[in-house]
Structure formats: C-alpha cells, structure tokens
Amino acid sequence: MKPVLVMINGLPGNVAATMARAAVSDPRFQLIPASLTGPDIPDTFVRIDNIDITLIKPDARETAVSDIRQQYGNPIAIDYTHPSAVNANARFYIHHRIPFVMGTTGGDRQALEKEVSQGDVPAVIAPNMAKQIVGFQAMMAFAADQFPGLFKGYTLEIKESHQQTKADTSGTAKAMVGYFNRLGVDFKPEQIQQIRDPEIQKTQWQVPEPYLSGHGWHTYTLTASDGSALFEFKHNVNGRQIYVEGTFDAVVFLKKQLADPRVTRRLFTMMDVLNSPASNTKNDPSHETIP
C-alpha cells in the first residue's frame, strides 16, 4: 500500500516533534519536510532524525501550500499547534481542501465543528487522541445516559496536571465535566484545578521527573454530602506515545473516508475511529487497550 502523505504542523513543539519522529519510522506514512509554525518561532527549520523540516510562518503559508502540493501531492495534515491557532488553522485547511486531524485543544470548539461540518474536506477532531481515554469517556457517557442524576448531591473535584508549556485547561477534563453534570453533579469547567508547576508535580503528585515535560494526569473525585462515600476516577499518562498511536489511527481512518465516494460526512471524532471496522483496537492483537 502506498504510504499516506502527512504534514505535521506545530513544529518545533514537543508533541509535533514526537509525531514527526514516529512518522519517519512508520512505513505507513511519508512525512512532508515542511510544517506550519507560529509567528514568534525564530528558527527557519528543525531537524527530525536526518530530515530538515522547513518551518512555515503564517505570512508565508499561502504560497507554501501550493509549492508543497506541486512537489509532493495532497497531504493529510496533523495539527498539534497552539490553542490560539486552532480556528484559523482549520479555516486554512478547509479553504485549501486539506483533510486534517486536529489534536490541538482550545479555540472555539463549536465554531470549529460548525465550519468543518459545512466545509468540503473531512477531519477528525477530538480533545484527546488517546484511544483508551476516549474509551473511558465513552463509558462515562453511557453511565450519564443510563443513570442520570446518579451522583446528585455529591461534590466533585477535578485536578489535571500537564507539562508547564501547555497553555490551556485540558480539553478532556472539560469534556468530563459534561458527563458529571448529567450524572447530577453541579460543577463548572472553571472549577477545574490546573496544575502546571513542575515542583508541585514532582513533590506532591509524584510525577516521574523524566515526564515533567510531557505528561497528562487527571483525577476526578466524587464525595457524598455527608462524607460517607467517595468515588475516584483517574488516568495518568506519561510521555506522548499513547497520543501518537491514536493520531496515526485517525489518519488511516481519514484516508479510508477519502477513498470512499459514498462518504459525504465531514466531521468525525475519535469515537468514529474506535468504532471503525478497520480500527486497530478491534482487529490487531498487538494494539491492546489498557484495562
């Protein structure tokens, strides 16, 4: 099978760099040596393994995308940029008919979904690309649908810890608030405790030092009004490999949608990826989910 042409945007950011290194060594993909970057990035290129990847600033990308298409063909974009760039980048992809996987959190998510739905290219958009966490969210959504008000009267505490460079509150944590609301808990996204101090993460949270620059630890604690019962849900991820696997599955899924002329839908989520008959989660025993 011909490798999928991918353009990973957001270099030299850590997540984008992790994605790029993984793509170079994955025979399913061909990495375009170019990446959209922010206006404040001083570098003109970044080296990933032995490949020099040109960094394209916003004022140069209109011309660059034409050159890329002429030289390489039509790519699928993988977006791990900055929350402030989410909506502008999506509009750029839609305008230039570039299918994309949006792993960047933040931005105006309602506007993002609306523009993709009304656009001409498909995209996979999710606040979290980790398949196992998406599965956990699906379980919470099922509970909220089946047992509305189950935790009525309980108080909720949500704490999320990420690397110091993460600019926004976790999109996963925000999504979880909605499920807990349906389960009867009065809680607002603004109440999420956002931990970004490496010293606190190391000494109080016990995040391993090698992962202070790349982790996602979430704890959701429900306490009965009289203190007689406590329920706690937790997912701790060190490093970024779990997001690489999910993102690459999303790219393969998107490629299949593009190849099927019957598909007219434009907006997809990671739940669509998990439910796909071709999902690694269902068919490949080497890609087992975390229990």
Catalytic residues: 162, 166
Please report whether residue 87 resides in a domain. Answer: yes
Residue 101 shares a structural domain with residue 145? no
Regarding whether 64 and 93 lie in a shared domain, the answer is yes
Query: For residue range 40-53, what is the model confidence (pLDDT) as tens digits?
Result: 999 999 999 999 99
Helical axes 14-24 vs 241-259, angle rounded to 10°: 60
The answer to whether residues 164 and 198 touch, using CB atoms and an 8 Å cutoff, is yes
Structural domains of the chain, count: 2
- pLDDT-derived band of residue 94, with 50, 70 and 90 as boundaries? very high
Predicted TM-score (pTM) of this structure: 0.83
- Which tokens sit at 99? 């299918």
Domain boundary among 201, 217, 238: 238
Q: Within this chain, do residues 26 and 13 fall inside the same structural domain, yes or no?
A: yes
Cα–Cα distance for residue pair 269/15, rounded to 1 Å: 20
Residues 87 and 114 in one domain: yes
Is there a domain that residue 291 lies in?
A: no
Instruction: Report yes or no on 119 lying in a domain.
Output: yes
* Domain extent for 49: 4-125+241-283
Statement to judge: residues 17 and 46 lie in one domain? yes
CA triple 32-35-39, angle to 5 deg = 165
For residues 203 and 113, membership in a common domain is answered with no
- The kind and range of the H/E element at 252 are helix 241-259
pLDDT in tens, 193-216: 999 999 999 999 999 999 999 999
Asked whether residue 11 is assigned to any structural domain, the reply reads yes
pLDDT at 127: 83
Asked if residue 90 and residue 44 are part of one domain, the reply reads yes
Per-residue pLDDT band for 278 (boundaries 50, 70, 90) equals: low
pLDDT for the residue 87? 96
- Say whether both 145 and 203 belong to one domain: yes
Assigned domain for 270 exists: yes
| Pair (119, 261) in one structural domain | yes
**Together in a domain, 74 and 205:** no
- Say which amino acid occupies 24: V
Residue 258 located in a structural domain: yes
Please check whether residues 177 and 53 belong to one and the same domain: no
Q: Tell me whether residue 288 is in a domain.
A: no
When pLDDT is cut at 50, 70 and 90, the band that residue 279 belongs to is low
How many angstroms separate the CA atoms of 99 and 121, rounded? 5
Q: Is residue 168 part of a domain?
A: yes
Mark whether 147 and 166 lie in a shared domain: yes
Query: What CATH number does residue 211 fall under?
Result: 3.30.360.10
